[in-house]
Amino acid sequence: MTQSNETLLDLYRLMVVTREVDLAVSEIDGHWHGCDGEEAVVAAAYMGLRDGDTVAPHYRGSLVAAYARGADLARLFAGIMGKATSYNRGRYRSDICGPPEFGVIGLYSGALGPPLSYATGAALAAKLDGTDAVAMAVFGDGSSSRGDCHEAMNFAASLKLPVVFLCQNNQVAISTPSRDRVAGTVADRALGYGMPGVQVDGNDAVAMVDAVAEARARARRGEGPSLIEGLTYRARGHFVSDAADPRPRDEVEAWRARNPIRLFRDRLAGDGVADTAHLDAIDAEVRDQVAAAMAQAQTDPEPGADVLGADDVYA
């Protein structure tokens, strides 16, 4: 599939947003689970969706998913601090749970897995309504071991639901390497469920966006789900202040050298899609946007006692 230059530059921009969000939030939240090194998978997963589509993002990248669906960055940042201006007024955290009004299904408890079924349910609704909407069900390599993941895949494949399953395989779950506790490859599981499955170089932005486009097109045509495994690498600790990263230094360094933003930049410049001045301008514009949003969020008000809303649990 060939993507337009416009799409490629949108993709580049979203990758830069992912990086700048990471840098900005890392400064205020030691518990932030960053996306350094995984920007190509994250941006490709959430770019270019239409109104009516649904995403159940992997928690790592959740905030970018909400932004890509149209949520306001300052309000998302406010949600990291629980400010009154956040989409839920401070009741819940925006780093793992995006606003549903943008078609985002977050983690409503801290449990990985269940959102994959919620995405499948959104796809079921689209099928029942006869629309061509799709659902993105995104998960980590570690989360691929959850029963919910297997159940969602079998359910979606047997009912031919328009779901794109995307594994953001950063090759580790907290301290556990995927090679130790994920049997076989995630992509190969697709065979067992009778759907297409591909493993893609997750640091190659173009390969990622191509794979996602193909899977979405298939889903929109009513041909059922697909599984994409984006093989990438978590370039930092599990969260910002995670001092205990046991992975071999040389392995970490080798992957850092394959930084997906840098690789994509070189390719865009090399292919003549944009010159470096243009790319630098995108970088600067994103940096300013992120800085302004963070400055705004930091001065936003804290929630008042009324937000606790003891009588608000029922719809």
Partner 1 sequence: MARQTFQEATVAAIAHEMRRDRNVFIMGEDIGAFGGPLHSCKGLWDEFGAQGRVIDTPISEGGFVGAGVGAALAGKRPIVDLMFLEFMGLVIHQFGLDGGAMHYYSDGKAKVPLVVRAKYGVGPFHGHAYDFHSWLLNVPGVKVVAPATPSDAKGLMAASIRDDNPVLFMEHMGLYHAGREEVPEGEYVIPLGKADVKRRGRDVTIVASALMTKRALAAADILAQDGIEAEVVDLRTLAPLDEETVLESVARTGRLVVACEAVKSGGSASEVAALVVEKGFAHLKAPIARVAPPNVPVPFHRELEKLYLPDAGRIAEAARAAAAA
Ligand X SMILES: Cc1ncc(C[n+]2csc(CCOP(=O)(O)OP(=O)(O)O)c2C)c(N)n1
Which residues in this chain contact ligand X in the complex, by CB under 6 A? 60, 110-113, 140-143, 170, 172-174, 234
Q: Which of partner 1, ligand X, none binds 184 (CB below 5-8 Å, type-dependent)?
A: none
d(CA 179, CA 174) in angstroms, rounded, equals 13
Looking up tokens 């006692």 gives 305
Residues in Cβ contact with 239 at an 8 Å cutoff, skipping those fewer than 6 apart: 30, 31, 32, 33, 34
CB of 171 to ligand X, least distance (A): 8
Give the start-end residues of each E strand in 87-239: 135-140, 163-169, 172-173, 176-177, 197-201, 226-231
Q: Which of ligand X, partner 1, none binds 312 (CB below 5-8 Å, type-dependent)?
A: partner 1
Contact, 156 vs 224, CB < 8 A? Answer: yes
Secondary structure in 3-state letters for 211-262 = HHHHHHHHHHCCCCCEEEEEECCCCCCCCCCCCCCCCCHHHHHHHHCCCHHH
Q: Is residue 163 classed as helix, strand or coil in its secondary structure?
A: strand
- Measured from the CB atom, the residue of 169 and 259 that comes closer to ligand X is 169
> Please, how many CA atoms are within 13 Å of residue 224, restricted to the half-sphere of its CB?
16
- Measured from the CB atom, the residue of 142 and 162 that comes closer to ligand X is 142
CB of 21 to ligand X, least distance (A): 15
- Measured from the CB atom, the residue of 90 and 224 that comes closer to partner 1 is 90
Q: Which of ligand X, partner 1, none binds 124 (CB below 5-8 Å, type-dependent)?
A: none
CB of 197 to ligand X, least distance (A): 18
d(CA 23, CA 17) in angstroms, rounded, equals 10
CB of 305 to ligand X, least distance (A): 30
- Measured from the CB atom, the residue of 18 and 170 that comes closer to ligand X is 170
Q: Among 155, 223, 158, 153, which Cα is nearest to 186's?
A: 153
- Measured from the CB atom, the residue of 128 and 243 that comes closer to partner 1 is 243
d(CA 183, CA 176) in angstroms, rounded, equals 13
Residues in Cβ contact with 77 at an 8 Å cutoff, skipping those fewer than 6 apart: 24, 25, 94, 293, 294, 296, 297, 298
Q: Which of ligand X, partner 1, none binds 60 (CB below 5-8 Å, type-dependent)?
A: ligand X
Neighbours of 1 (CB within 10 A): 10
Binding residues vs partner 1 (CB under 8 A):
31, 81-83, 90-93, 109-113, 142-143, 145-147, 173-176, 180-182, 244, 246, 302-303, 305, 307-310, 312-313
Q: Which of ligand X, partner 1, none binds 170 (CB below 5-8 Å, type-dependent)?
A: ligand X
- Measured from the CB atom, the residue of 69 and 83 that comes closer to partner 1 is 83
Q: Which of partner 1, ligand X, none binds 172 (CB below 5-8 Å, type-dependent)?
A: ligand X
CB of 302 to ligand X, least distance (A): 27
Residues in Cβ contact with 281 at an 8 Å cutoff, skipping those fewer than 6 apart: none
CB of 28 to ligand X, least distance (A): 20
Q: Which of ligand X, partner 1, none binds 128 (CB below 5-8 Å, type-dependent)?
A: none
Residues in Cβ contact with 31 at an 8 Å cutoff, skipping those fewer than 6 apart: 239, 240, 241
- Measured from the CB atom, the residue of 257 and 305 that comes closer to partner 1 is 305
Q: Is residue 199 classed as helix, strand or coil in its secondary structure?
A: strand
CB of 130 to ligand X, least distance (A): 34
- Measured from the CB atom, the residue of 110 and 184 that comes closer to ligand X is 110
CB of 92 to partner 1, least distance (A): 5
